[in-house]
Amino acid sequence: MGFRKEALYLLAITGLAAILVAASNVGPADGPPIVLLYLYWLVRFLIEGLIFVGIRELIEKVSPSSTPLVMETGLATLLSLAPFTLAITAFDIVLGFPELGLQSGSQAGSPKISEFGLELVYQLDNHVALCLLLTMPRIILAVNARTSAAAIMEPEEPRHEGFLDTLDPPLAGTVIWAEAQEHYVRLSTATESRMVLHRFSDILRDLPEHAGLRVHRSHWVALEAIATVGREGTNLRLVLHNGETVPVSRTYRQAVESALEDKLVVT
């Protein structure tokens, strides 16, 4: 999931949460207008979401690639709770609001650490819910990646005659790399490279699933053509035996790591 899509998803989730919470907190007629309530909760949820996403990205960079998504999400949720609570408490103080959850729970002279502990407990359920919502796209991508990895291991079905069989002259050798370039597809074998006018999705159906895998929305690579898999942080790239480099998108990263674990090289 790209940065722009993730940012738009964060805005959408926080905006929806702000509308729902603001609507449920409408007070008397002399209370703050609904617009101000909405802006307050929007800023509040944005602060919470940004802190969670920032800590999650940091955990992904320092943790091994084999770390389960649920573990990374749970750790990021717990580590972001205290910074969020501190930030929103400061935000409320600046606006002149009492700390939420402590209006009736705190007593004069009680230790501040106890009040802060109560605030953490008060914020926990809503914080967990928002963090899970913000993680849903990654959960969906992980499920799709596992499905793609499982498809690689399925037995090959009888091959039907397709577009590749109609090429004249025929390709010299089997396809080791297919790359979509607008309306064309570049087909590469060990001895030649040819541009053809055809849909990339249709060409993928002509290629045997067990022989390779899709690693990007625009790239399919044969397993035998891959020399190493380089990992730089959370990014993967394939180095082919002919020296070419092929990018791996986040959508297919887990499937590539599962299928090519023995070729993974950390750079």
Instruction: Give domain limits for the chain.
Output: 3-152, 163-266
Helix, strand or coil for residue 241? Answer: coil
The pLDDT value recorded for residue 104 is 44
What are the structure tokens assigned to 201, written together? 């999705």
CATH of domain 163-266: 2.40.50.1020
Residues 7 and 29: their CA atoms lie apart, in Å, by: 35
178 φψ region: left (φ > 0), alpha (ψ -120 to 50), beta (else): beta
pLDDT of residue 165: 82
Spatial CA neighbour of 240 closest among 230, 255, 231: 230
Nearest Cα neighbor of 45 from 161, 131, 108, 120 is 131
Asked whether 44 and 13 are in contact (CB, 8 A), the reply is no
pLDDT in tens, 242-259: 999 999 998 898 888 888
Enumerate residue ranges in the chain where pLDDT < 50: 99-109, 159
pLDDT computed for residue 28 by the predictor: 56
The pLDDT value recorded for residue 150 is 60
